[in-house]
Structure 1
């Protein structure tokens, strides 16, 4: 189920992005780009960034991804990605490594000239470089490559970051005039509660080395390039900082609050920071659309709308010339399309279910008649079970005694039967009437007619059939249900049977000579024959009537059981429908909550109204059973019922609480998703800009709550504040005063949109930082990226907390660095 709902929601979101005016104007990269991931822990970042970049850049098909990992890393989607190369390396040849020297030994194994991995790494990098070369037509310029290196601070393999970065730059640089390299360091503050000692020491080790490689005097030379003939070539780096910019991104913001998505916000920052630095600018003629997009909006100072990398770098350097580090914060306000799709699907399913439950009131007598359980039908069935009256003629052939009429005329009918036949007549009736009726009753498929009627009724009345059969077949559903009326009929039959038995007793007690049979004078034997014919016709005719009443009563009992079985079956189908509705509700509410407390506000009640209005409008125009026609929902019972091809197992489609979903529920969910997409999701109330949609949702409860309507300016003020709050810097510093803090803030969205203009003008009024924007032709939302920099390693809370452990581990003999620690600058 989870997979099917995800596909449904993603399809709606993708379709919305493809609509004119929503998000068809994705940004593009000016220069080719490559992402280099170092260490196993960077696998998540690699997968996330391939997805984010693919959705953000219109030329993302030209980006190369390269991941250096250990041989122990399991395969994932990156191994199958068309633009990705993953190089797995076993540093120790399967031998276990000592933890206290792991980082140092990993580095020694990497630079070992006798090993063959450098040759393989060179080949893999050249394969990635060839991918970049083949994508030249996607970029405005092929002069420069933007290389982004991503690693985790506490991944032991990050000790190789300088060597791998420089080797990659050297290999890629053979296709470009220059390679500009940025480093993104991911810091997992939240994990320190579980693995605080060793991992914190590894993180501090890397930060000390990072401070070293970012010094202006840092230089490097090592034989890292390997030709096809195994010849080595030095990779050199002249004295200068190794990376153009270094970003540190944590899963806690500067206020120490953990991010709900962990490092997901950090991946968004990497994607958008790269875009700022490497954005394609389509310079057109003055007055052209392309030229207008590049001009600052009214209210902003000239040139304030664009990112300038040189200006940003200069803002990070202090008076001594030591270059500071950077971090960022990211937030977005968008139409929560996936949440909207799930809410619409739930309310659509709920609306259909509510209509199906509105069963018209039907008198019990009419229920029995339509189910063919009224007395005429039941009597007819009982008559078919017992032999007909013609078989009574056969009783006249039963051997009788030679008693004269005169000898029996003063006897009762019971005495006369004993005198004439003994027990022969009774035995004949039991064997030829009662036993035959019981045999026919045993062979009858009592519930077949009910099942056939139910299937036909459900197919012909798709709106009410399923619920109608369930309601009619159980008295607990309604006091007016068929079983109650059926029992009333059974009581009538039982009263008739008792009356017939009493009549039989009276008849048996009457005298022979008083019976109205034909009597002939002086013809004794003829009178006996006339009496016998009368006796069988009336006495056993009455017994046949009693037998039929007993058969009718037994049929009532069996049909009561058949109705109960029918109810169990149809109630189980209804339970599946209602369980699916409940699962859809949980999925929709969870998605609305995950959209955050403001963007997801009023989502469920608002779309309940929207869906209800759309459904009523369609029914007014096309008929009340519009959604239940065969080409729409159709026969719900046939859809939800078990089928032979379903097998014994459930058709579960996801893990967790929704696993074990029946095949019928899965079919119904597919039909609902298709119908919802076709009938509702393209309607006007569901095609709105994020500004319109949020404003309407914000005011959904106005008529129920006596409060003023929220104005567009009120909404913009709230959104602006939310964006700023949620774009808090993703890094916690110890004591970083405002005078050292360099900040820049950028919006991504429709530069001519009302909210973008409002936000930019708000920033302009009292800003002490650079403000800019990236114009994207989209109406589905706006994003904000806050950049901050100028701090150093010693300002990090992560470093200050980890330094205690680092010093303790070093004192205990742990060797973390590949170079002499005395060469590292003292922090």
Structure 2
């Protein structure tokens, strides 16, 4: 169940994000982008960034990826790859040996040329996905401590030269990923690898850096030189660490770096919003490059920070599903409060129902009059007038009446009761009239058949009362019959005549009285016997049916408990004002939606065709997933599609924050306070992902950009706050987002010597080089 629910929650979160993205006019890149991933250590980055781009960019299908790896890569659409040499290089010289092997292996170089040309042709095929093909952006991603990055200039410049044959402008940026979290074993050597790359990178970014090698090949294996005139290799180099500028390492930092790379490429290459506003302030890559460079002579680098506050969609959907299921259970329980007469009618136990049973199981009462023909004609009223009814019956009929009644009434009834089987009829009432009826359902069936003496709405209680009443009636009739038999004929209450010659008439009147009082009573006793048999069979069958429902009710309760726990667990870490009141707020939301559904689809909509009509069928033994899956299908179609779940981020947040959960709790979070908290969270969380030594950093330049609805109340509030400082350029990437707000902070102008990583790592690099470790090729040995 956990996997099913989490999958559904993830799906809903993605669904809401897609709805949000479909309204984002700027979630497309203007120019083609090629991502070049270099080394084994960026495989996870490749997976994550490719996924992010696919989810967030409308024209992501036109983006191409290349991965140069040593041991392992991935297979995916729009991805090209090449395996580098991995022949167990010596630990002391693996970087050096890797680049030497590259230059010695002409087969690899031929293959690399072929792949880059295929990539360029593929990029041209996707031209319709972009607004312009005048420029292509080459984004290089590597981990600074990956040995493969010693080949960065060869791969970058070869791909750039081939792209330049098809595109007028090729802009190249580098994203270097640092891992400063020490693993306790190889941190010194790993740091030394990173320092060696950064030293080479500082050389590549010099104004007089140049490169010329015969790396381009024709189909006849003729070599052509690749020339890079004196200028930095990369337009901008972003260094992104798992440690922020405050020296803190956070678990989410690595994932945030991947999001940073995706957002930075979108920021640089997005389609520009046509409506101009001074506070929208669009990003300019060249302006940022010039501003962070300033008057610095040494190469300068950039970093970035990223923060997002998103609607807690997973917690919302889990709480919504839990509350909706609780509403279902509570509705089913409320429906069990029905009048006793109504319940008996549903189970065919009303008086009219019993009359049908009597007509079926009892011989007709009219047949009692057939007994009148049993009396001998010679008998006279005078002969019996002093006798008791018991004596008179024996005198008049000599056992004939008892025999007749037994053969024509008692024996047929006994035979009928012997084969009496009402199980099918009872089960039909149980399932059709209750379980499958949209007004009642399985909980009514369970509650009404429970052995609960305190419940008025209980068919078993009603049956017990009927049995008791029937037995009491039996006793009364048996007592009445006994007293009747003891009566003297002449004292009996029938019409007698004292006129002469009225003996025959009196005898006839007595006989009618006799059969009405005696055999009429015996007939009633037979009827009560049939009624008791029916009631006892009902009781037996319904108890069995109740037992069959017990595991299904337990399963419903199990799903309810699981939903409540999962919903509560999703809120465990949400103690901030921005995440509060989810359970309380969405409880009210579900109540409102349920009320609307009742108005639209009727008061008993829960058990109609679109919802849980076949609830009993979803309660498979020991398979709560079946019911849970149906619940999630219904929620997805009928609940989460409601407008209450598609409100703007701000409106939902403000209303939820202001829900009063306790009568005595009158703390209301004002819009101003809420916006301030939201602004501060974005500001604090978007700290730069690199630690610099503040006292030596001369030229720190920053720009900050929000991703959100420029015309929303919060965005106006945030931009005013930022503009009040006047310390940096602030802009907004206009997106009609309903899922949240993002903030991107750019910082540039620092040198390698400003980095705490570089300052702390140089001593490790020096001790390794002093002990014979070779981190560079011969051409770079002087770095």
Shift of 1:267: 2.0
CA distance in 2, matches of 1:673, 1:579: 21
- For residues 734-773 of structure 1, what are the structure 2 equivalents within 5 Å? 735-737=693-695, 739-740=697-698, 742-748=700-706, 749-768=708-727, 770-773=728-731
**Given the two structures, how large is their TM-score scaled by the length of structure 1?**
0.73
Shift of 1:661: 1.0
Cα contact 1:41–1:155 (8 A) shared by 2: yes
1:273 matched to 2:236? The reply is no
- For residues 202-217 of structure 1, what are the structure 2 equivalents within 5 Å? 202-215=190-203, 216=206
CA distance in 2, matches of 1:153, 1:369: 80
Q: Which residue of 2 aligns with 1:695?
A: 654
Q: Which residue of 1 aligns with 2:24?
A: 24
Shift of 1:74: 5.2
1:671 matched to 2:662? The reply is no
1:6 matched to 2:10? The reply is yes
Indicate how the Cα distance of structure 1 residues 51 and 470 shifts in structure 2: closer, same or farther if over 3 A, else same: same
Q: Which residue of 1 aligns with 2:431?
A: 451
1:50 matched to 2:50? The reply is yes
Q: Which residue of 2 aligns with 1:439?
A: 419
**Given the two structures, how large is their TM-score scaled by the length of structure 2?**
0.77
Residue aligned with 1:605, SS: helix
Shift of 1:171: 2.3
RMSD of aligned Cα (Å): 5.3
Cα contact 1:218–1:242 (8 A) shared by 2: yes
Residues 2-28 of structure 1 deviation map (CA, whole Å, 9 limit, x = unaligned): 43443344334433454xxxx432155
- For residues 256-335 of structure 1, what are the structure 2 equivalents within 5 Å? 256-259=247-250, 261-281=252-272, 290=275, 292-293=276-277, 295-296=278-279, 306-307=283-284, 309=286, 311-312=288-289, 315=292, 321-333=297-309
Cα contact 1:379–1:552 (8 A) shared by 2: no
Cα contact 1:34–1:145 (8 A) shared by 2: yes
Residues 491-526 of structure 1 deviation map (CA, whole Å, 9 limit, x = unaligned): 334455667788999999999xxx9xxxxxxxxxxx
Counterpart of 1:370 (choices 343, 346, 363) is 346
Residues 53-94 of structure 1 deviation map (CA, whole Å, 9 limit, x = unaligned): 34555554443222334564454xxx1x3xx223152744xx
Matched residue pairs, number? 743
CA distance in 1, matches of 2:574, 2:368: 82
Shift of 1:148: 0.9
CA distance in 1, matches of 2:360, 2:188: 89
CA distance in 2, matches of 1:752, 1:444: 67
Residue aligned with 1:440, SS: coil
Shift of 1:329: 0.8
Residue aligned with 2:35, SS: strand
Q: Which residue of 2 aligns with 1:89?
A: 83
Q: Which residue of 1 aligns with 2:625?
A: 661
Indicate how the Cα distance of structure 1 residues 35 and 73 shifts in structure 2: closer, same or farther if over 3 A, else same: closer
Q: Which residue of 2 aligns with 1:301?
A: none
CA distance in 1, matches of 2:88, 2:712: 59
Residues 513-562 of structure 1 deviation map (CA, whole Å, 9 limit, x = unaligned): xx9xxxxxxxxxxxxxxxxxxx9999999999878766654544443343
CA distance in 2, matches of 1:752, 1:363: 58
CA distance in 2, matches of 1:144, 1:723: 33
Q: Which residue of 2 aligns with 1:600?
A: 579
Indicate how the Cα distance of structure 1 residues 14 and 342 shifts in structure 2: closer, same or farther if over 3 A, else same: farther
CA distance in 2, matches of 1:102, 1:391: 113
Residues 166-189 of structure 1 deviation map (CA, whole Å, 9 limit, x = unaligned): 322222222223422222122344
Shift of 1:794: 5.7
CA distance in 1, matches of 2:684, 2:123: 38
Indicate how the Cα distance of structure 1 residues 668 and 761 shifts in structure 2: closer, same or farther if over 3 A, else same: closer
CA distance in 1, matches of 2:543, 2:320: 36
Residue aligned with 2:719, SS: helix
Shift of 1:744: 0.9
Shift of 1:330: 1.0
Shift of 1:137: 4.9
Indicate how the Cα distance of structure 1 residues 637 and 49 shifts in structure 2: closer, same or farther if over 3 A, else same: closer
Residues 32-54 of structure 1 deviation map (CA, whole Å, 9 limit, x = unaligned): 32111223443332333234334
- For residues 341-490 of structure 1, what are the structure 2 equivalents within 5 Å? 347-359=323-335, 361-374=337-350, 377=353, 381=357, 434=414, 437-441=417-421, 446-455=426-435, 458-459=437-438, 461=439, 464-476=440-452, 479-482=455-458, 483-490=460-467
Residues 78-120 of structure 1 deviation map (CA, whole Å, 9 limit, x = unaligned): x1x3xx223152744xx77776766555545444425x34333
CA distance in 2, matches of 1:74, 1:394: 97
Indicate how the Cα distance of structure 1 residues 168 and 203 shifts in structure 2: closer, same or farther if over 3 A, else same: farther
CA distance in 2, matches of 1:477, 1:788: 75
Residue aligned with 1:479, SS: coil
Which consecutive unaligned segments of at least 5 residues does structure 2 have?
372-386, 493-513
1:817 matched to 2:741? The reply is no
CA distance in 2, matches of 1:626, 1:445: 29
Residue aligned with 1:756, SS: helix
Cα contact 2:31–2:133 (8 A) shared by 1: yes
Shift of 1:724: 0.8
Q: Which residue of 1 aligns with 2:511?
A: none
Shift of 1:328: 1.2
Residue aligned with 1:641, SS: helix
Q: Which residue of 1 aligns with 2:220?
A: 229
Residue aligned with 2:419, SS: helix
- For residues 97-136 of structure 1, what are the structure 2 equivalents within 5 Å? 106-114=98-106, 116-136=107-127
Which consecutive unaligned segments of at least 5 residues does structure 1 have?
283-288, 298-303, 396-408, 516-534, 651-659
Residue aligned with 1:214, SS: helix
Indicate how the Cα distance of structure 1 residues 665 and 695 shifts in structure 2: closer, same or farther if over 3 A, else same: closer
CA distance in 2, matches of 1:711, 1:73: 51
CA distance in 2, matches of 1:579, 1:691: 36
Q: Which residue of 2 aligns with 1:640?
A: 615
